Structure 1
Amino acid sequence: MVQAIPTIPTKVTFDEFIAWYPEGTGCHYELRSGEIVEMPKPTGKHSRVAGFITVKAGIEIDRLKLPYFISKECVIKSVRDESGYEPDVIVLDERSIADNPRWEKESVITQGSSVRLVVEVVSTNWSDDYALKLEEYEALGISEYWIVDYLGLGGRRFIGNPKRPTLSIYQLIEGEYQVRQFRENERIESLTFPELDLTASQIFRATN
């Protein structure tokens, strides 16, 4: 039986958002400055890209026996008590997940140090990934953040001119994100998965 979606309240705290969040509806929500936002259902191509990255990361974790795991669904709590985000892909560290007191009961991440990698696949609301979430993930101290812009939708100030499919990898250096961008057949370089043999175009072609 599909659960009815409760009425979306106005202006809530993070705790109220988690208490309200409906399970088993197939809908996903994020909290933005106290307002609950229903996330658009991903397109098939969006889902294929996220799934491809999940599989490749999972294979690497298993191959190297890394102490990481990929969570299907969780909410990252902002350093402020008014926002929470559900990334497309998140790789967590088994050794420090217990540092998040809300993990076991609520699947809530409060400590950025427990996140090895977070991935957002760009859709029409691209500014959220390049500005809002970039700032939030940096503030939380998440060590690596990928923005997978397989359609080249981002603003020119983010991906250049002419716009084209771009994978932006942000890595935390002395508390600030530094970015490297990969396109076409360039082999990506990841601190989380330094031996990952994968090019930007392979990720983009996952849509086919």
Structure 2
Amino acid sequence: MIQTLQQPITFDEFVEWLPETSECRYELHRGVIVEMPKPRGKHSKVSGNLAYDVGTAIRQAKLPYFIPKESIVRSIDGNSGYEPDVIVLDESALIDEPEWESGSIISLGKSIKIIVEVVSTNWRDDYFTKLGEYEALGIQEYWIVDYAALGGRRFIGNPKQPTFTVCQLVDGEYEWQQFRAGECLISPTFPDLSLMVDLVFGA
């Protein structure tokens, strides 16, 4: 992760600055533009497989949800903007999103059914920063997919082991449930979704 600009900028300035084509993704972290390498290798495979599995569940259940190719989630204070690995949007809620059509920008937690971050070396962003921001936005379900066991021991145990964390918003705060090899993950949004953690992690 490389910080590319040091002078704080606004979210609107960040959106205006974003290059149309780039080998990297960019996020805004508290007014600072941060270069995020595009997912490659297993990270890309895990993200893609999850999008496929969840997309299949959406179609089978005939729900008014979809997974966009890309989108930016604006923090509640407007100082940050994140591009999640996978995001499930409620199409019926997008009518209230003022910048969805013009910039694929989401600013209301109610528009998001599930948001997914596949953990990489900047794991603190997923377990600390983004968890807090997504909780504040009121996003109902947040998945932290730590297939390489990169997170801190207080999050994934000691010794570390690959862990799939499902965070569900209850009374404004996230409650966690964790799943590991040999277990089938449980999603409050998709109760009929049957996904073995081993398959998600590509074991």
Instruction: Tell me if TM exceeds 0.5.
Output: yes
- Please say if 1:147 is aligned against 2:132: no
Q: Within 5 A, what are the aligned runs for 1:14-163?
A: 14-163=11-160
Q: Note the aligned Cα RMSD (angstroms).
A: 1.2
Q: Which moved more, 1:176-185 or 1:33-42?
A: 33-42
**Deviation string for 1:81-118 (max 9, x for gaps)?**
21000000000001101111110101100000100000
TM normalised by structure 1 equals 0.93
**Counterpart Cα distance in 1 of 2:30 and 2:168:** 25
**Counterpart Cα distance in 1 of 2:48 and 2:91:** 21
Q: Which amino acid aligns with 2:101?
A: E
Percent identity (aligned): 57
SS of equivalent to 2:92: coil
SS of equivalent to 1:180: strand
Give the number of equivalent residue pairs.
Answer: 200
**Counterpart Cα distance in 2 of 1:187 and 1:9:** 43
Q: Please state which structure has a larger fraction of its residues in strand.
A: 2
Q: Which runs of 5+ in 2 are unaligned?
A: none
Q: Which runs of 5+ in 1 are unaligned?
A: 1-6
**Deviation string for 1:108-139 (max 9, x for gaps)?**
00000100000000000001000000000000
Q: Which amino acid aligns with 2:167?
A: Y
TM normalised by structure 2 equals 0.95
**Deviation string for 1:125-183 (max 9, x for gaps)?**
00100000000000000000000000111001111111000000000001100000000
Q: Which amino acid aligns with 2:120?
A: S
